[in-house]
Amino acid sequence: MSKQQNSFDVVSKIDVQEVSNAINQAMKEIHTRFDFKGSKSNVSFDGKEVVLISDDEHKLKSVTEILKEKLIKRKVPLTGLLYGKVEQAAGNTVRQAAQLQQGISSEKAKEIIRIIKDKGLKKIQASIQSDQVRISGPSRDDLQAVIQLLREYEPKLGISLQFENYRSN
């Protein structure tokens, strides 16, 4: 029997174009809704950070809900945005910034590796490769088990996970 190694990468990527599309749809809805008439509500995006602005915290919460609804429709995981605190802004408005989560932090990568080790999958190797985790092992079934395991833990990790670059040697 040959020593076959199969592998895949665990990544956390957000489709920037889909975020941009969701923001455009959210702004269209905000501009047409009666409850936002005369409001200073706005959502902007620079490719890395989403900034939400509104008249008060109540309206800001509505803006956030509209944006989340549009993100879900465009299949952008809500865990892909890390929301900051609501702050006072110029012109009697409030603002809230949300960072796009791109890549897996080293803390989360270590947590992913620990989850796999705790499960006792002995033939599986997991290594951190910059902002992703490479999983390898001789059995495709074991790799499928790892994907299933990480899908279960995904909500607890608080980040969106994708599995790509599946290689079978």
Q: Where are the chain's structural domains? A: 6-13+103-168, 16-100
The CATH number of 16-100 is which of 3.30.2020.30, 3.30.70.990, 3.20.20.70, 3.40.50.300? Answer: 3.30.70.990
Beta strands in the chain (DSSP E): 6-11, 42-45, 49-54, 81-89, 93-100, 125-129, 132-137, 162-168
The predicted-structure confidence for 126-145, as pLDDT tens digits, reads as follows 889 889 999 998 888 888 88
Measuring CA to CA, which residue among 117, 118, 138 is closest to residue 126?
Answer: 117
Average pLDDT of the chain?
Answer: 89
Angle at 154 between CA 153 and CA 160, to 5 degrees: 165
Max alpha carbon distance in the chain (Å)?
72
Q: What is the pTM assigned to this prediction? A: 0.77
pLDDT exceeds cutoff 70 at 3: no
Residues 6+ apart with CB under 8 A from 148: none
Sign of dihedral through CA atoms 117, 119, 123, 126? negative
pLDDT at site 45: 92
- CATH number for the region 6-13+103-168 comes to 3.30.70.860
